[in-house]
Amino acid sequence: MTIKIGNAPCSWGVEFADDPRNPGWRDVLRQCAEAGYNGIELGPVGFMPEDPPQVADALAENGLELIGGVVFRPFHDAAKWQDVLDASRRTCEALVAHGARHLVLIDSISPRRAPTAGRADAAEQMDAAEWAAYRDRIAHVASLGSEEYGLTVGIHAHAAGFMDFEPELERLLEEVDERLLKICFDTGHHSYAGFDPVAFMERHIGRISYMHFKDIDPRVKADVIARGTGFYEACGQGIFCNLSDGDVDFPRVRQILLDAKFEGWCTVEQDCDPTLPDTDPLGDARLNRGYLASIGF
């Protein structure tokens, strides 16, 4: 088994390219390497310069490989379709320029879903027509990434979007050709949604092309579910914690990957707000890398 461990700019609080709170992109690359990782994701398109030689030089200086990139856009909103397409194509072009493999599609947070994050029984559902159009937009970008750019495209379930809960994810997988769309499996978001990430991996490991390692604090999760706390408030309460401090069974995750002879990248993601006084992205990145090494990654 050849598994490589990477990290992502979201572990430094980078969710949107134009957020003035973002750290410098070169600082993120440097700290990622200092923490012991060999690869990093692109982050939101536009965070790193859309200038291949400049980024290539910085990656090389830090001994990092570009793993892939995420299109975190409102696939659920037909009125934003041109924005989704623009971000998708720009991300594909950046990935191809650096020889990266993974294009990850995430339906971004919806105001209709944010209040019921983690509560499948209370979440609003799309009707048949809305679902079909939504599915087709995802399939269109999957086809763009895989057939036009030669990338491996994975769908990523995410709390507070319309691709959140396990039944939605499995429905999409049934309706979109596996040759176009794989799974980027995020252990933490699956737990946040109220489902067992290990059980899902056991059923679908053959379609998982890429892993995101994230953990969920079970005490915070229980509290936000009981109180009906919205997604953004839950993030502020620290629902995303260091690996091994949460409820995801990473030794079992490792064993499933071993048994399946999985090869490729597993990327740590620990979403944070870097401006909070007790936030230490570099320290957390080191702790997470150390924990993964301790269990054989």
Per-residue pLDDT of the chain (297 residues; tens, 9 = 90+): 599 999 999 999 999 999 999 999 999 999 999 999 999 999 999 999 999 999 999 999 999 999 999 999 999 999 999 999 999 999 999 999 999 999 999 999 999 999 999 999 999 999 999 999 999 999 999 999 999 999 999 999 999 999 999 999 999 999 999 999 999 999 999 999 999 999 999 999 999 999 999 999 999 999 999 999 988 889 888 999 999 999 999 999 999 999 999 999 999 999 887 777 788 999 999 999 999 999 999
The architecture that CATH gives domain 3-294 is: Alpha-Beta Barrel (3.20)
- What pLDDT, on a 0 to 100 scale, did the predictor assign at position 275? 73
What are the E-state strand segments in the chain? 3-7, 39-40, 65-66, 68-73, 102-107, 152-155, 182-186, 208-213, 215-216, 240-241, 264-268
- What pLDDT, on a 0 to 100 scale, did the predictor assign at position 167? 98
Q: Output the six-digit token pair for 94.
A: 């950046």
- What pLDDT, on a 0 to 100 scale, did the predictor assign at position 1? 56
pTM: 0.97
> Is 78 in a helix, a strand, or coil?
helix
Letter string b/e over residues 121-144, b meaning 16 or more CB atoms within 10 A of that residue's CB: eebeeeeeeebeebbebbbbbbbb
Assign residue 216 a region: left if phi > 0, alpha if psi is -120 to 50, beta otherwise? Answer: beta
Query: What single-letter DSSP state applies at residue 179?
Result: T
Assign residue 4 a region: left if phi > 0, alpha if psi is -120 to 50, beta otherwise? Answer: beta
pLDDT digits (tens, 9 = 90+) for 194-227: 999 999 999 999 999 999 999 999 999 999 999 9
- What pLDDT, on a 0 to 100 scale, did the predictor assign at position 207? 98
Closest to 231 in 3D by CA, of 195, 182, 269, 193: 193
